[in-house]
């Protein structure tokens, strides 16, 4: 997934809870789905960021190089400007781009 081209909001937005609840039929279940997706996005972004920062890391860092590594600073700033992972997850959820399955509670107890 390309997180850099997401059109999620950069700041806090008031949401219609009915719209969020409508997807699963239960507001709490919707929140669980969004939070789990947010965690997935967060892990993916963190791995991507670490890999990119490691590309510019040098094995012989002296004190001056640590403060002057502009590539790492620019990469970090770019990732800081991305929307928050919960906003990305909620946008995907409302756009029906998140796959989830509901567990069936129809198991019957035998006598």
Residue 104 CB burial class (10 angstroms; 0-12, 13-18, ≥19):
exposed
pLDDT in the model for residue 111: 42
pLDDT of residue 1: 55
Q: What does pTM read for this prediction? A: 0.76
The phi, psi pair for 34, rounded to 5°, reads -65, -40
56/47 Cα distance (integer angstroms): 15
User: Is 102:33 a contact under the CB 8 Å cutoff?
Assistant: no
Q: At residue 110, does pLDDT exceed 50?
A: no
User: What per-residue confidence (pLDDT) applies to 52?
Assistant: 86
pLDDT of 35-81, one tens digit each? Answer: 999 999 999 999 998 998 888 776 665 655 555 677 888 888 888 88
| pLDDT one-digit tens code per residue, 13-38 | 888 999 999 999 999 999 999 999 99
Q: Decide if pLDDT at 83 tops 80.
A: yes
E strands within the chain? none
């Amino acid at each position: 997934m390309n997180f850099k081209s997401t059109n999620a909001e950069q700041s806090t937005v008031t949401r219609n809870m009915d719209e969020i609840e409508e997807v699963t039929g239960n507001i709490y279940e919707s929140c669980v789905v969004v939070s789990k997706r947010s965690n997935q996005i967060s892990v993916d972004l963190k791995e991507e960021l670490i890999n990119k920062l490691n590309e510019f890391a040098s094995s012989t860092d002296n004190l001056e190089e640590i403060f002057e590594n502009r590539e790492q600073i620019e990469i970090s700033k770019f990732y800081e400007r991305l929307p928050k992972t919960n906003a990305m997850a909620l946008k995907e959820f409302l756009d029906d781009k998140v796959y989830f399955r509901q567990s069936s509670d129809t198991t019957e107890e035998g006598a």
